[in-house]
Amino acid sequence: MDFHILTIFPGFFSGFLDHGILRRAIDTNRVHVHLHDLRAFTHDRHSTVDDRPFGGGEGMVLKAEPIAEALAAIDIAPKSAREPGDIVILLSAQGKSYSQPLARRLAAPSATAPRRIVLLCGRYEGVDERINDLYCDLELSIGDYVLSGGELAAAVIVDSVARLLPGVLGNEASGEFESFGPVDDEITTDIEGVPRSQHGSGGLLDYPHYTRPADFAGLAVPEVLLNGDHQQIRRWRREHQLLKTMRNRPELLERAPLSRTDREFLAKIRQLD
């Protein structure tokens, strides 16, 4: 997959692209990341990319012309004339919330999946809205807070989508068996109501993980994880997955497929709280 990032700070991405899984994905040609400096598409001696907003107000706004020229330089036409295969995303505090399901849709190998993802990094007070109207398929925010620019958000999207592409992770299952994993309509349980597999979070948060040493700073690994009883381990993991989700992201429980045992456990915990 090709990512194209339009930014006034291309140097921001140098460290991000040079390490870890993403570096390996680039080295093996599974992912290509192209950086485009918006200042290269200006025509005045000061390389001006912003201007004061009509109607007054604080701050500056990224101008439409450099962005449109940058998009044209990589053969991105306005939405009304664009062929399938490219998607343009504006990173903005006013955008829809980005999520793991959207990352999966962007990464999914299908006829409708994007061939190129173009990420437009907003700055200052934002981008001239006509760029959004003419070119952008999505306007996304990575959280309910304001960043100085869209570069951090662009990095988040590149990483979260790239790691889901075939061959990028060392273990293909790693992208499935983690927090916000795919949600199944039904969960298969054993006679005690415990999911037969802990693989895939079913839209919930992941359960806690431990490794050696078994005792650290006076805190011991839960005994159930050491006894070799896989049924008890699965039950413990499911309960702590539910517990962590209830405490940190309770809204996820509303749309997750829960067994009767799950619901009974949550009801008991709520009574104790």
- Asked whether residue 15 falls in the same domain as residue 94, the answer is yes
Q: What is the pTM of this model?
A: 0.84
Q: Is residue 170 very low, low, confident or very high in pLDDT (cuts 50, 70, 90)?
A: low
Domain end: 142, 172, 202, which one? 172
User: At which of 145, 172, 199 does a domain end?
Assistant: 172
Distance of alpha carbon 121 from alpha carbon 149, whole angstroms: 6
CATH value at residue 161: 3.40.1280.10
Q: How many domains does the chain have?
A: 2
Whether 8 and 130 map to the same domain: the answer is yes
Provide mean pLDDT across the span 164-178. 71
* Contact call for residues 63 and 50 (beta carbons, < 8 A): yes
Burial of 218 (0-12, 13-18, 19+ CB in 10 A): exposed
pLDDT of residue 162: 96
For position 180, what pLDDT does the model report? 65
Q: Are 165 and 197 in a shared domain?
A: no
pLDDT tens-digit series, residues 172-212: 555 555 666 665 544 556 545 565 544 445 789 999 999 99
> CATH code at 186?
1.10.1270.20
Q: Which letter does DSSP use for residue 217 in this model?
A: T
Share of the chain above pLDDT 90, in %: 79
Asked whether residue 115 carries a pLDDT value surpassing 60, the answer given is: yes
Percentage of residues in the chain having pLDDT higher than 70: 86
In this model, does residue 218 exceed pLDDT 90?
yes
The reply to whether 124 and 195 lie within a common domain is no
Last residue of some domain: 155, 172, 189? 172
- Alpha carbon distance 107, 105 (integer Å): 5
Residues 37 and 145 in one domain: yes
Instruction: State the pLDDT confidence band at 108, using cuts at 50, 70 and 90.
Output: confident
pLDDT greater at residue 144 or residue 187: 144
The answer on 104 and 182 residing in a single domain is no
- Rg of the chain over Cα atoms, rounded to whole angstroms, equals 23
Q: Which domain holds residue 72?
A: 2-172
Whether the CB-CB separation of 163 and 21 falls below 8 Å is answered with: yes
Distance CA 158, CA 78 (A): 23
